């Protein structure tokens, strides 16, 4: 066996004599232990190979204990099996303490919540989807006496597919609105292109000049963004802003109307309908209809 150091090479000579232990050389009639940098490098390589081993099986543990009980030193056993000396020492110490060499399986940190408490968090989050993780933690503490952190609440709800997401915001529609829109759609389902050419479609967008943090979150599962319980109906915009209105008809379009004041019914009639829609009416169109994309489906014949 050759052991190479930085500046020298040492050979462990056995002379076919089994009485010469590994790591020693024969100097005359004596065994002299070889303390060189080469031997230290060899031991370092053994430690590297040992680090690549994850766990020792029970059979290997028994072999190690057997070697030690036969009188071998811990260093000799460490070099024979390529295992760190500290591992051999801990294994031997455990065997002397309780006579057990099997690996102790550790389950990790115990869960702070029970399955019933996890179900309580899930039910509470589904009943009040806008409650925060801190609110759920306080409710759990008052109901069961178990105190958990916000991150624990996130993890427990994430295991069942509930995540904190921003709700979908839409214009509120009543049952009457939905019924009128459905009736209008069925009535015009079979219209021809000539009939659609007399229809003007209008739309308006409002741009707020004040920031909306939108820090309201709800607990919902993936793919349920547009469910009724995950939406917020909103039709008012506080603060200053600008409104942009426009209309299109087959082959033509109106000019964009921009205003900064709040849109009311009177302003819509006097400004939008009178100044834009009526003036845009083509003389060849006999039945000119206006379809406004507002919550209440309105069709007006002008």
Phi, psi of 88 (to 5 degrees): -60, -40
Least confident of 48-57, 60-69, 126-135, 173-182: 48-57
Mean pLDDT of 142-147: 92
Q: Does residue 297 surpass a pLDDT of 50?
A: no
Query: Cα-atom radius of gyration of the chain, to the nearest Å?
Result: 41
Q: How far apart are CA 219 and CA 224, in angstroms?
A: 10
Q: Does residue 117 surpass a pLDDT of 70?
A: yes
Phi-psi region of 162 (alpha: psi -120 to 50; beta: other; left: phi over 0): beta
SS3 166: coil
Q: Does residue 291 surpass a pLDDT of 60?
A: no
Q: Who has greater pLDDT, 5 or 196?
A: 196
DSSP-H helix ranges across 70-146: 74-81, 85-98, 115-127, 133-144
Note the pLDDT of residue 299. 43
Q: Who has greater pLDDT, 105 or 153?
A: 153
* CB 125 within 8 Å of CB 221: no
What is the overall mean pLDDT for the chain? 76
Q: How far apart are CA 267 and CA 272, in angstroms?
A: 7
Q: How confident is the model at residue 148 (pLDDT cuts 50, 70, 90)?
A: very high
Least confident of 74-88, 144-158, 241-255, 288-302: 288-302
- The architecture of the domain spanning 174-214+236-301 is 2-Layer Sandwich (3.30)
Report CA-CA distances (Å) from 236 to 130, 156, 209, 232, 264: 20, 36, 14, 12, 12
Least confident of 47-61, 172-186, 222-236: 47-61
Note the pLDDT of residue 234. 72
Q: Does residue 17 surpass a pLDDT of 60?
A: no
The answer to pTM > 0.85 is: no
Q: Does residue 14 surpass a pLDDT of 90?
A: no
Least confident of 220-229, 238-247, 281-290: 281-290
SS3 302: coil
Q: How confident is the model at residue 169 (pLDDT cuts 50, 70, 90)?
A: confident
Q: Does residue 39 surpass a pLDDT of 60?
A: no
Token pair listed for 251 = 């082959």
DSSP-H helix ranges across the chain: 37-51, 58-69, 74-81, 85-98, 115-127, 133-144, 150-159, 175-187, 193-196, 265-267, 278-280
Report CA-CA distances (Å) from 190 to 49, 187, 196, 298: 79, 8, 10, 19
Q: How far apart are CA 123 and CA 157, in angstroms?
A: 10
Based on DSSP, count helices (H) and strands (E) in the chain, helices before strands: 11, 14
């Amino acid at each position: 066996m050759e052991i190479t150091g930085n500046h020298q090479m040492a050979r462990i000579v056995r002379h076919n004599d089994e009485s010469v232990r590994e790591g020693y050389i024969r100097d005359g009639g004596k065994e002299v232990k070889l303390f060189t940098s080469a031997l230290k490098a060899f031991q370092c390589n053994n430690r590297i190979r040992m680090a690549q081993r994850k766990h020792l099986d029970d059979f290997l543990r028994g072999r190690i204990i057997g070697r030690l009980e036969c009188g071998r030193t811990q260093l000799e056993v460490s070099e024979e099996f390529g295992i760190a000396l500290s591992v051999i020492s801990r294994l031997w110490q455990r065997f002397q303490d309780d006579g057990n060499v099997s690996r102790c399986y550790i389950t990790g940190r115990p869960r702070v919540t029970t399955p019933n408490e996890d179900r309580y968090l899930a039910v509470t989050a589904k009943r009040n989807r806008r409650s925060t993780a801190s609110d759920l933690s306080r409710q759990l503490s008052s109901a069961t006496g178990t105190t958990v952190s916000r991150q624990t609440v996130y993890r427990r709800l994430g295991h069942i597919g509930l995540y904190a997401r921003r709700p979908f915001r839409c214009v509120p529609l009543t049952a009457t609105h939905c019924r009128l829109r459905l009736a209008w759609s069925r009535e015009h389902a079979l219209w021809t292109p000539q009939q659609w050419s007399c229809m003007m479609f209008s739309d308006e967008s409002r741009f707020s000049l004040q920031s909306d943090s939108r820090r309201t979150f709800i607990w919902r599962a993936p793919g349920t963004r547009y469910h009724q319980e995950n939406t917020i109906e909103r039709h008012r915009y506080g603060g200053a802003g600008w409104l942009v209105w426009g209309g299109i008809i087959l082959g033509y379009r109106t000019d964009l109307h921009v205003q900064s004041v709040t849109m009311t019914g009177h302003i819509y009639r006097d400004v939008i309908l009178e100044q834009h829609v009526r003036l845009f009416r083509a003389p060849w169109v006999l039945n000119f209809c206006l379809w406004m994309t507002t919550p209440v489906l309105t069709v007006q014949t002008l």
